[in-house]
Amino acid sequence: MSEPFSLSVVIPNRNRADLLLRAVLSVQDQTADAIEIIVVDDFSRTDLSAEYAMLEEMGVRILRQPRHQRGPAARNRGAREARGSHVSFLDSDDIWLSGRYDEIRSFYADPKNGERVLVSHAAIHIDGELRDIAQPVWHAGASLVEYVYRDAGRVQTSMLTMPVSLAHRFPFDETLRVNQDTDLAMRMDRAGIGFEIATVPTLVKDETPDPGRLTMGRETADLSYDWFRRESHDWSRAAKSGYHLQDRVWRLADSGRRGAAYASLARSLFPPVSARESARRGVGMVLGQGGYETLRGAVRKLRGDPALARDGGEMLARWNRLDRRAREICAALQDAAGGEDAAPDP
């Protein structure tokens, strides 16, 4: 008899307070069912004792790493200590939308999905705007790397749910600082593990440009390319072109290496995988992020694109509502801490 379904959600965290609380709140309001939420603190330098104490009162398990070991190690520890039959990963700056838990539970209620990975669909939050980027179809016989790099499919950490037994068999590679999600999915695909690509958004990923993000910078561009050269020995030519287009070009551009970025963009044309995306990347590098967004907004306005509206419907309303609530709670905690530390009146 199979184990009854129960879900653990693993959230790595380092130095974040209000963003982490926003993520936790987005999980806790999903269902009356018990969801185990595990926050793995990756040796934060910021004092989060008040926030963690509050989260523990809310039923969240807090695990603390003995030293800074980065996201893969934090996720692996959370998966090892999870009590649920299934585990879902969530980055601390992302949120669940209403219905995410129901999607997961319904998927795994079907016995044929017992050993499969659910890849939920994510809307993207950038600078106060939500974008719903349609996932391509994963064609039969295509590999994971072809789906991600040739076809521009998204398979990212916050989108992944799997049986906890699979998370134990296929841990994240703790030596990697970037591309950990693609690396994990690639290894699972090579081992014959099946994937289901959902089509309705049930989470929001924050991709607002931030110079402090690990994915940006000269070093991470080089680390990603080292991974590519090590792993791409059996990739198709189209997948290799797609890696340059979907990954290397923007990493190089964001780290200020424009000449190398243009060379990588040229490499992505042999063979070409998406003329539209190649043109978009090129225009973006010429105009810069601000100039490109201005042009993009003008084009959408001329077309009468309803997605230009910044209210974004219920998804963005939920994002803003959770964000406000998390900030208010964290501000109240800080005020309370300040009051306790204040010297008594004479």
Whether residue 135 lies inside any domain: the answer is: yes
- Which tens digit of pLDDT belongs to each residue from 4-45? 999 999 999 999 999 999 999 999 999 888 999 999 999 999
One domain, residues 320 and 286:
no
* Count of helices and strands (H, E) across the chain: 13, 9
Helix ranges (H only) for the chain are 18-28, 49-57, 70-81, 100-109, 144-145, 164-169, 180-190, 218-231, 237-243, 249-254, 258-267, 275-303, 313-341
73 vs 40: CA distance, rounded Å: 9
Say if 213 falls within a structural domain: no
The average pLDDT across 116-142 equals 93
Tell me: do 140 and 231 sit in the same domain: no
Same domain, 139 and 237: no
The CATH number of the domain where 73 resides is what?
3.90.550.10
pLDDT of 344: 42
Mean pLDDT taken over the chain? 92
Identify any residues that bridge with 203 across adjacent strands, giving them in sequence order: 96, 122
Report pTM.
0.93
For the chain, what percent of residues have pLDDT higher than 70? 92
Could you tell me if 243 and 212 are in contact, meaning their C-beta atoms sit under 8 angstroms apart?
Answer: no
Over residues 144-173, the pLDDT tens digits come to 999 999 999 999 999 999 999 999 999 999
Q: Which domain holds residue 96?
A: 7-208+313-337
> Residues 6 or more apart from 217 whose CB is under 8 A from it?
254, 255
**Same-domain check for residues 126 and 232:** no
Q: Specify if 2 maps to a domain.
A: no
In a domain, 345, yes or no: no
**Per-residue confidence (pLDDT) for residue 125, from 0 to 100:** 95
For 47-88, write each residue's pLDDT tens digit. 999 999 999 999 999 999 999 999 999 999 999 999 999 999
- Backbone Cα Rg of the chain: 21
- 55, 185: one domain: yes
**Shared domain check, 237 and 113:** no
pLDDT per residue as tens digits for the range 285-335: 988 777 777 777 777 777 765 554 444 589 999 999 999 999 999 999 999
